[in-house]
Structure 1
Amino acid sequence: MSRADAVLAMTADRRDLHAHAEPGWCEVRTASLVARRLAGLGYAVRVGREVVAADRPGLPPAAELAAAYDRALAAGADPEYAALVRDGFTGVVATLATGRPGPVVALRFDIDANYGHESADPAHPAERDGYRSRVDGVHHSCGHDAHTAIGLAVAHELAAAGGPSAGEVRLIFQPAEEGLRGGPAMVAAGVADGVDVLLGCHIGVQARETGEVVAGYRRILASHKFDVRFRGRNAHAGISPHEGRNAVQAAAIAVQNLLAISRHGDGETRVNVGTIEGGETRNSVPAHALLRCEVRADDNAILGYLCDRVEEVVRGAAAVTGVEARVETAGGAAGADSTPELAAVVGRVAAGVHGVTRVRDTADFKGSDDMSSFMNAVQDAGGRAVYFGLGSRLGDVHHAPGFDVDDDALVIGRDVFLGCLRELGVLG
């Protein structure tokens, strides 16, 4: 396929995925079409329960999972694979193995979208060009549609080349990165077992110009995602307020004090309360409230400090208001750093890729990503792992309503992956 044709094909894939955005554990259409495409290219494909462990944190309610399945079928999902990935088992792993000596090289691509409403501003590229998300309240505001399109393009070129010349190439299409849920579940299912070399990329993080490449991120932050549920007692707000126990009051106290947790002097720390819900009606003391929150740190010990403080704050808010409270884990992953030697390979390859104008050796990621789960699994077993940055002009910052990427960056990402496979000796 010519470079121009590749750009058109990747753009079409990315915009189709963008228009049919699916949140974590609900990526039925995406996973089924990826699996069907890869099977058609001759890959050995495993999906669903074969590659995703049963313990999946942050699983949506059954009604949301069922609605996602029905919506996916109506939007053209492959029925055979959709049935295998439904109910929150939306992972895909595709392998080309030669049976000849050589490394097992895995490439990881995340596939999920974010909750949130996409911009309808006529100047927003997705609105202007007709690929704005058709799923209300869900859109690709972190670039995972781009990652998936790159993965499909790599798969196509690898198959067109007759497959790897040695060893094995394993393509991992991971659900539920948002909330750090899918990576740990796939690692627990053994997806990273036996991997010698792992590569992945993120578009636009610390690289905001098309043509820029960060050869390997460092300091991917460890993070713990959690929900706090407060349970109080209803009472008439006018006649008998003293009989009630106000869960919303407890939540409000907790929000203020969670955000006031002292940051740690030994490293980067982050605290965020993302949503607050509660109450039943205007004239009743509210009996329930829910907070969805996260903490992050660049050191697992510091993350432990934050988690301990969270527990203390929640207990204190519950005690002062006389309500019950519990903290539930909703996701999380440890921190990670790219293997320097492998980042150097990425840097050498990127420097020779058409369209690359600047290569930086490294940059702090400054966020969290459950690519770290795969990286730690591979590195702990003696292998090498890298997460590189793919530069792109952005319509807005990540997780914002106007986020969008430059489709011209996609072919650069494809070529960096393919060049690394050649450099590693698994592609002739």
Structure 2
Amino acid sequence: MSMDHILSLAQELGSRLTGWRRDLHRHPELGYQETRTAAIVTEHLRNLGLEITTQVGGTGVVGLLRGEQDGPTIALRADMDALPIQDLKETEYRSQNAGVAHLCGHDAHTSMLMGAAELLTGLGKPQHGNIKFIFQPAEEGLAGAKAMIDDGVLENPKVDAIAGIHMFPGLDTGTLGVSKGVAFASTDSLKLKIIGKGGHAARPQEGIDAIAVSAQVISALQNIPSRMVDPLEPVVITIGTISGGYMGAALAPEVEMVGTVRTLSAGVRSQLPSLIEQVVSGVCSSFGAGYELSYGEGYPIVLNDEDMVDLMTETSEQLLGRKVWNYIKPSTGGEDFAFYCEQVPGVFFRLGSGNADESTRYPLHHPKFDLDETALPDGVAMLSAIALNFVNRT
């Protein structure tokens, strides 16, 4: 099967890919609530004649294209969930669900994997080996990948490798980006309560101002990345919400904060809970305040396998006839594709979705995020060609 033929078949799906993507965009669903999306995916896979398993990890759907003979199994993954953000675009396909929108491209990921399933099924069964299509729920902070793994998505048949794709407005349409090795940061959660002592704002010496202490804590936490770990190791500590106090004429007895902690190093990640405790304890002690600290492990680091990265880049050159990919810096964003990469060799790469129209250049998670839909066939072709190259290379 020539790469030109695969690309041509993907391009023929262009209008249908756009139709699927826009329908999903109009009807976004949050993590573990993707019942409509899962039903659409299930019907599509059933019409293709694939082996189907539903309700994997909650609302996940898995399709299996089994080969004529035993061989390696590669999985292709797309995430289906949307974000709890109001869609502010002025398009006919804007979200119809108040406060929920596909602002991270998951509607496109789902559509491209539906397209890849159709393209690969149309080519017939692989001579040997299998291709597994994983439609995953709840990537946005709810660890849908882990839920699917716990439900056995990497078994029966056992998955030997996995590939995933993400739309990216920072890259031009028609180009690809990939990181060799670490690709995305670990993302852990931080919840902190500063416990002071209330009192009148006119006599602050009689109380312990939790807001004043909190300000010192927030500033002191930034000394961890700048002064307490190797400056060549990225660490991002962000306090995203803060609340406390009752009125302007009273000292706040308590302040609650929620944040995230990100790093690109597993070793540094293991140090951060104790370093944060050390800083918070020291600041609070110096002002006579107490604290309650909760540190929760979230997504691990996404570690791309070097051989899978090479397969992806070589496949793209075969498919497109030229080099359209570049190595890119790791992202300090989180991605639960990390859980798959802990189990099997994987590659997670980015597909450019930005053009000269500024509407395609809004960053991920922006209320006006949109994408260049002409990139969708390229994604289908890449996923399909990677899968075929993997099962045919042994």
Contact 1:212 1:357 in 2 (8 A): no
CA distance in 2, matches of 1:280, 1:47: 48
1:8 shift after superposition: 1.1
Cα 1:110–1:245 change in 2 (3 A) is: farther
CA distance in 2, matches of 1:165, 1:274: 53
* More strand as a share of residues: 2
Match of 2:163 among 191, 199, 206: 199
Match of 1:177 among 139, 144, 147: 139
Counterpart AA for 2:289: G
Contact 2:222 2:237 in 1 (8 A): yes
Is residue 219 of structure 1 aligned with residue 182 of structure 2? yes
1:237-386 mapped onto 2 (5 Å cutoff) = 237=200, 248-263=211-226, 264-265=229-230, 267-273=232-238, 275-279=240-244, 281-282=246-247, 285-286=251-252, 289-319=255-285, 320=287, 322-329=289-296, 331-337=298-304, 339-353=305-319, 358-360=323-325, 362-367=327-332, 368-378=334-344, 384-386=345-347
Matched residues, percent identical? 28
Contact 2:182 2:264 in 1 (8 A): yes
1:363 shift after superposition: 2.4
Q: Which residue of 1 aligns with 2:63?
A: 94
Specify the structure having the higher radius of gyration (Cα). Answer: 2
1:1-41 deviations in Å (ceiling 9; x for gaps) = 96555111111221222222333334333334323432343
Please, what TM-score do these two structures have when normalized by structure 1? 0.76
1:62-73 mapped onto 2 (5 Å cutoff) = none
Counterpart AA for 1:33: I
Counterpart AA for 1:47: T
Contact 1:183 1:374 in 2 (8 A): yes
Q: Secondary structure at the match of 1:226?
A: strand
CA distance in 2, matches of 1:190, 1:116: 31
Contact 2:68 2:126 in 1 (8 A): no
1:151-172 deviations in Å (ceiling 9; x for gaps) = 1111122233334432221111
Contact 2:244 2:256 in 1 (8 A): no
1:266 shift after superposition: 6.0
1:208 shift after superposition: 0.9
Contact 2:104 2:365 in 1 (8 A): yes
1:295 shift after superposition: 2.0
Cα 1:30–1:426 change in 2 (3 A) is: farther
CA distance in 1, matches of 2:363, 2:134: 26
Q: Secondary structure at the match of 1:142?
A: coil
Cα 1:217–1:92 change in 2 (3 A) is: farther
Long gaps (5+) in structure 1: 53-88, 121-125, 379-383
Q: Which residue of 1 aligns with 2:372?
A: 406
Contact 2:211 2:254 in 1 (8 A): yes
1:388 shift after superposition: 2.2
Q: Which residue of 1 aligns with 2:102?
A: 140
Cα 1:318–1:170 change in 2 (3 A) is: farther
1:246 shift after superposition: 5.4
Cα 1:307–1:36 change in 2 (3 A) is: farther
Q: Which residue of 1 aligns with 2:79?
A: 110
Aligned residues: 374
Match of 2:51 among 44, 54, 58: 44
Counterpart AA for 2:330: F
Cα 1:249–1:29 change in 2 (3 A) is: farther
CA distance in 1, matches of 2:341, 2:148: 12
Report the RMSD for the aligned CA atoms in angstroms: 3.2
CA distance in 1, matches of 2:95, 2:243: 29
Cα 1:3–1:147 change in 2 (3 A) is: closer
Cα 1:4–1:101 change in 2 (3 A) is: closer
1:175 shift after superposition: 2.4
Cα 1:216–1:223 change in 2 (3 A) is: closer
Is residue 18 of structure 1 aligned with residue 28 of structure 2? no
Contact 2:78 2:136 in 1 (8 A): yes
Cα 1:238–1:267 change in 2 (3 A) is: closer
Contact 2:177 2:327 in 1 (8 A): yes
Match of 2:362 among 387, 396, 416: 396
Is residue 158 of structure 1 aligned with residue 117 of structure 2? no
Contact 1:270 1:295 in 2 (8 A): yes
1:300 shift after superposition: 0.5
Counterpart AA for 2:349: F
Q: Secondary structure at the match of 2:110?
A: helix
Please, what TM-score do these two structures have when normalized by structure 2? 0.82
Contact 2:302 2:341 in 1 (8 A): no
Q: Which residue of 1 aligns with 2:3?
A: none
1:150 shift after superposition: 0.7
Contact 1:223 1:294 in 2 (8 A): no
